[in-house]
Amino acid sequence: MLGWAITFLVIALIAGVLGFGGIAAASAGIAKIIFYVFIILFVIAMIARAVRGKPPV
């Protein structure tokens, strides 16, 4: 999922450099949403692992 966020971020940067403002804004927005979802799922996974008694890696 982090790979998708980075992909959309790169698309946003390239589109911004080339002058496609709408596409750049949309791609940046999608990248932010995917990144936040990734962070939330990562934290949930770490909490679940700690509750089961395994130390975080």
Buried b (16+ CB within 10 A) or exposed e, 17-33: eeeeeeebeebbebbee
State the Cα–Cα distance between residues 35 and 24, nearest whole angstrom: 16
Domain ranges, ordered by start, for the chain = 2-51
pLDDT > 90: percent of the chain: 21
- pTM of the predicted model as reported, rounded to 2 decimal places: 0.71
List Cα–Cα distances, 44 to 16, 36, 40, in angstroms.
34, 12, 6
Find out whether 13 and 31 touch, Cβ atoms under 8 Å: no
Distance separating alpha carbons of residues 31 and 8, to the nearest angstrom: 5
* Tens digits of residue pLDDT in 26-50: 888 888 999 999 999 999 998 998 8
